[in-house]
Chain A
Amino acid sequence: MMNTKAIGYITANYAGNEPSKLLENRPVAALPFLGRYRLIDFPLSNMTNAGIHTVGLAMPGNWRSIADHVGHGGDFQLDRKIGGLYTFPGNPYGTTKRGMRFLLRDIISNRELFERSDAPYVVVMGANIIFNMDLNEVIDAHERSGVGITMLYVKAERKHSDASRLIIGDAGRVQKVEPGCEYGDNKFIDCFIINRDLLLDIIKHYANADYLDFFEAIAGDMARVDVCSYEYKGLAIGIFGERSYYERSMELLAPTVYDQLFQKDRPIRTKAHDAAPAKYYAGSNVANSFVSAGSKIHGTVRNSILSRNVIVESGANVTNSIIMYGCVIKRGARVENAIIDKNNVVPENTEYRGTPDAIMVIGKGTRL
């Protein structure tokens, strides 16, 4: 059913705070994930699955990969006459402040989206932390509570310097939002619900402080704004750099983890392609791995994630690795503990080998 209560706003214009070859040419939101997805698919799918048909998308400076992937939003059911997907230029790199993904200037420059709507609420999301959630439950909880803002958090399972933590007081009220979080903290999952009228007030009120992050701007005003918290009990996967990207991806090889992210009644949508089903040749040997459509497997693959159109030739061995779109692992080559970005060729009888503590990362290749 179409959601008449909420519209959406997603920031896709954030670079990682750690330098990485994977992020040289793309924002974090465009990072390929689990074979056929990009991180941006998750916030977009959460919106769509909640029936939200109007979504603003703050684009990064290097927007090519996002624009190519999302297009007019057709694959996300967002090519609509009423509402639809509104892409607009965000600040080229968002803000580089740790844990902050909602630059006020981007919200202000997208003001018309919020002014033209008559939905009472706006769901705001980043793209670094992905999950598959029934947003309507949260919207309903927000509505029942009567507060101005509801911020979603999980209990942090590990230290994250690039996430924010919520200091929560009585009645679940958020007193402070602070950069960085430790094990057990209330980790903000870069998702909040705000009353649309309140958002327009804040835009007006803080126009002179547009260089701040949204939560920096209202830091002294939390009580008046009335910011509440909502603990999300499901799986939220934070991707902040190569290490978290690799580790969180590998954890999905466990079906119990995977099943929390992929549920048939809430599909994760993505750009459709015409790749054939993956083909396994006689003598191939694949175990504990994800393999995407369009791939051709002759060799051995263990504990790995293969994107679309990957070729593993006979005698090649891929172990504990993430291989992105269009790579060819030639005869007799060996790839271990590595992330190989798109369109690379690993030549015959060569080894690309990292260690569990130092994953080898190969940037985008040039194979067409």
Chain B
Amino acid sequence: MARKECIAMLLAGGQGSRLMDLTSKIAKPAVSFGGKYRIIDFTLSNCANSGIETVGILTQYRPYQLHEYVGSGRAWDLNITGSGVSILPPYATQEGGAWYEGTADAVTHNLDYIKSHHPEYVLILSGDALYRMDYREMLKTHKEHNADLTIGVMPVPWEDASRFGILTADENGQVTKFSEKPAHPDSNLASMGIYIFSYDFLVNALEEDAINQRSSHDFGNDIIPKALADGKRLFVHAHHGFWKDVGTIASYHETSMDLLGEDPLFDLFDEKTPIMSNDSSRPPHYIGPDGRVDDSLVANGCRIMGTVRHSIISTDACVGERAIVEDSVLLPGAIVKNGAHVSRAILGENAVVEEGVKLGSVDTTKDTAVVGNDVVIGKGE
């Protein structure tokens, strides 16, 4: 195969257990987000918009809907013969087979895939955050420093720094220290879990890690600390813009709400870097004679007969007559029946809230209410 400058490996196999009911039957990257998208769309669109045309997608947990959704990669212009997207699940060999045991282990299992493309650089991504990024800029940083490894970082408020993997760098951006969730951070640069490796270094690091029995085979826990200890050239590339992990119910809800408003923190409408998705060809949505929609996103195929305020109504979701939906996210096909009242809730795909039922509370000190996919909430539940 022709040599490629940079290929991407997208880690999409995690369970996303902190999304609880939303990922009980579906992998996190395939969870619906923003009305018509799935979480993986944002990373795949970044790849497409950055001109990266080879993307290996590593899957493991409940993968079939994710596989079906990615398909040939056509939706992201990534159906390219000889490159494009490749789905990379765990596999068996003559020596047996094994699950992916950690982020680094997953990539190690697919070193043959990487080698077949002869890349100079390998971009490691995860499919669970909402952001726009031109990976070419990061690659430029990597090349300028002649780095072995460049880590995408995001300046976070100092008071939040203890929740992240924090990188300390010198004035040239060279990493001097990596601390996982430090109690007393000396830097506010949080790792975004985005890495660019020079090919030779990646192959060596993974092969060494694979035979280290004390390793948990994780990029953050094992590969980065070892590289630092070995005196490798690690640099940071700072991202200044919106970036949010959507890995918990609270962050999923908060990030969804960030899409709303006059001047949203994340603008889905930016035409220069479009968010591409595997569109479902559903008709325009219908707002009924007594429908009322205010400060919301409404996707195709919806039918809104009641009131929707400050909410995201995904493809084919329905809001019945006299029903009220506020500060909530309705995933595809969710139904709020006549007279029901849903506040600060996330309704899973095809979930149903029966007539007259009251769900959730506008009280922000309480947890966001979550209804799993296909679950029906009747009276008294």
Contact = CB atoms under 8 A, between A and B. Distances in A.
A277 B299 contact: yes
B288 A287 contact: yes
B284 A292 contact: yes
Interface in A221-274: 253, 255, 258, 262, 267-270, 272-274
B233 interface: no
Interface stretch (B188-196, B268-276, B364-372): B268-276
Interface stretch (B61-69, B106-114, B169-177, B289-297): B289-297
A274 B74 CA distance: 12
A277 B35 contact: yes
Nearest to B267: A276
A276 B269 contact: yes
Given A279-B297, A282-B294, A283-B294, A289 B287 contact: yes
Given A34-B284, A36-B283, A287-B287, A293 B299 contact: yes
Contacts of B16: none
A270 B262 CA distance: 31
Contact of B300 (A36, A75, A283, A285): A36
A74 interface: yes
Interface string A276-303: 1111111111111111111010000000
A258 B286 contact: yes
Contact of A288 (B284, B289, B298, B314): B289
Contacts of B284: 34-36, 290-293, 305-307
B277 interface: yes
B285 A291 contact: yes
A75 B294 contact: no
Nearest to B295: A282
Interface in B293-309: 293-300, 303, 308
Contacts of A34: 283-284
B34 interface: yes
By size class, the interface of chain A is: 35 or more
A35 B299 contact: no
Nearest to B289: A288
Interface residues of B, number: 38
Nearest to A76: B281
Nearest to A278: B298
Contact of B276 (A274, A291, A307): A274
Contacts of A294: 269
Q: Which of B288, B292, B293 has the most CB of A within 10 A?
A: B293
B36 interface: yes
A74 B288 CA distance: 33
A343 to B, nearest CB: 15
Nearest to A307: B284
A74 to B, nearest CB: 7
A277 B287 contact: no
Contact of A278 (B34, B285, B290, B291): B285
Interface in B4-43: 34-36
A211 B3 CA distance: 57
B39 to A, nearest CB: 15
Nearest to A297: B293
A301 B282 CA distance: 21
Nearest to A298: B262
Contacts of B286: 253, 255, 258, 289-290
A77 to B, nearest CB: 11
Contacts of B285: 278, 290-291
B269 A287 contact: no
B173 to A, nearest CB: 34
B35 A276 contact: yes
A286 B293 contact: yes
Contacts of B276: 274
A291 B298 contact: yes
Contacts of A269: 281
B279 interface: yes
Given A286-B293, A289-B286, A293-B36, A255 B303 contact: yes
A272 B295 CA distance: 26
A307 B283 CA distance: 10
Given A276-B275, A280-B293, A287-B290, A75 B281 contact: yes
A274 B279 contact: yes
A274 B274 contact: yes
Given A269-B281, A276-B35, A287 B75 contact: no
B300 A276 contact: no
Nearest to B79: A74
A74 B279 CA distance: 13
A281 B262 contact: yes
A287 B289 contact: yes
Contacts of B269: 276, 279, 294, 296
B275 to A, nearest CB: 7
A273 B279 contact: yes
A267 B281 contact: yes
Contact of A286 (B74, B287, B314): B287
10 contacts: A270-B281, A272-B279, A276-B268, A277-B36, A277-B312, A284-B294, A288-B287, A289-B287, A291-B284, A291-B285
Minimum-distance CB pairs A-B, first 6: A277-B35, A35-B284, A276-B268, A272-B279, A277-B299, A292-B284
Given A280-B295, A280-B298, A280-B308, 13 more contacts: A34-B283, A34-B284, A258-B286, A272-B281, A279-B296, A280-B294, A286-B291, A287-B289, A289-B286, A291-B287, A296-B269, A306-B284, A307-B284
